[in-house]
Structure 1
Amino acid sequence: TYKKITTKNLYSDRKIVLTQRCLDIIDEQLAISKDYYKGMKENYIFVNRNGTPVLISTTIDRLKKLDTNKKITTHIFRHTHIALLTELGIPLKAIMERVGHSNPNTTLAIYSHVTEKMSQNIIEKLEKIDLQ
C-alpha cells in the first residue's frame, strides 16, 4: 500500500547518529528521488521512476543477482553493521540502543559472533603481556 506502518516494538522507534558520508549518500539519493515524486506526500529516500518507494522484494531480487555462494538478503547489512561495531569495541549497551534491542541476550546470541579481526586483536593484546 506504500504506507508507513508502526514499528515492531517500542525499541524499534529510535534516533541514531550517522556519519557524514551516510548523510551525504542520503542527500544524494534524495536529490535523485525528488525528480520522481509524483504527488507523493511522504519523502522516501529510495523511490522508483513512478515515485513510489522501492519494494524490499526488488532489493532482494537485486542482491540475488550478485555472484556469491552465500544467501544474501537485506538483513545481512544489519548483521554486518553489528559485527563491525563489535569489532570496533563499541559497548554492548550502545549497540543494543542503536539496533533497537531491549534484551542483551538477543544481541549476544544472534549477532556477537567472533570475527577474524577480533581473534587477531586478542592475540595481539595477549602477546603484549609481560609475565616475567
Structure 2
Amino acid sequence: MERDFILSDNRSYCIVEGNLDYHGNKIIDQGKTRETKTKAVTREVDINSRAIVIYEEACTLSTNSDFIFTTKNGNPLQPTAIDSFLRNNKEKIGIPKDKRISTHIFRHTHISKLAELEVPLYVIQRRVGHSSSKITEKMKEKTRNLLEFL
C-alpha cells in the first residue's frame, strides 16, 4: 500500500507488515492483513532508484485506491492474474516455452542475485522474511549449482 513506502533523500524503503488477503474473499472485500506470510517479523526492505520510479508510476495509475498495483477499477491486482499473464506471454518476454513461471520465481531470482552480489546471508534472510537461514542457504546453493550452466 502507498503508506508502506517511505521515500527520502537518505533512505527509501517499504515496510512489510502484512499481505493481501485474497483467498476465499470477493475482490471488493480484499484487504491487507496484519500478518506477514512467514513467521518473520515486520521488516523494512530498502528499495533502489528503479523501484522508486516503478512505485511512483504505479501510484499515478492507481489514484482511486490505497493499493499500488490495481485494476482500472481500483481493486488490488490478483497474483493469479499476473501468473496467468506470465504463462500466456512468456515467449513474448523471452522465457522458453517449456519453462514454468509464476510471480514467486521473482522472489527466488532476487535471492539468487543478492547471493551473487555476496550480500551476507543474514541480510538476505532478514530482507526476504526467512525465519531461519536454511531456506536462504538452499537458495545460495542452488545459485552455485546454476552457475555451472553459464
Do they superpose with TM above 0.5? yes
Cα RMSD (Å): 1.9
SS at match of 1:97: helix
Answer yes or no: is 1:70 the counterpart of 2:96: no
Which has more strand, going by share of residues? 2
Give per-residue Cα distances to partners, 1:69-128, cap 9 Å, x unaligned: 21101110000000000000111011001101121112112x1111428x98xxxxxxxx
Equivalent position of 1:93 in the other structure: 122
Task: Please report how far the alpha carbon of residue 57 of structure 1 lies from its aligned counterpart in structure 2 after TM superposition.
Answer: 1.0
Tell me what 1:3 maps to: 31
Do the aligned partners of 1:12 and 1:99 also contact (CA within 8 Å) in 2? no
**Equivalent residue letter for 1:4:** K
Deviation at 1:25, TM superposition (A): 0.8
- Bigger helix fraction: 1
C-alpha contact 2:114 2:124 (8 A) present in aligned 1: yes
Change in Cα spacing, 1:76 to 1:9, as seen in structure 2 (3 Å) is: closer
Following TM superposition, by how much is the alpha carbon of 1:10 offset from its aligned partner in structure 2, in angstroms? 4.2
Quick one: distance in 2 between partners of 1:106 and 1:70?
Answer: 22
**TM-score (ref. length: structure 2):** 0.68
**Superposed displacement of residue 13, structure 1:** 2.3
- If the length of structure 1 is used for normalisation, what is the TM-score? 0.77
Gaps of 5+ in 1: 121-132
**8 Å CA contact retained: 1:47, 1:54:** yes
Letter matched to residue 27 of structure 1: E
Amino acid at match of 1:107: T
Q: Which runs of 4+ in 1 moved over 3 A?
A: none
How many matched pairs? 112
User: What does residue 12 of structure 2 align with?
Assistant: none
Max Rg structure: 1
Between the aligned partners of 2:68 and 2:147, the Cα distance in structure 1 is: 34
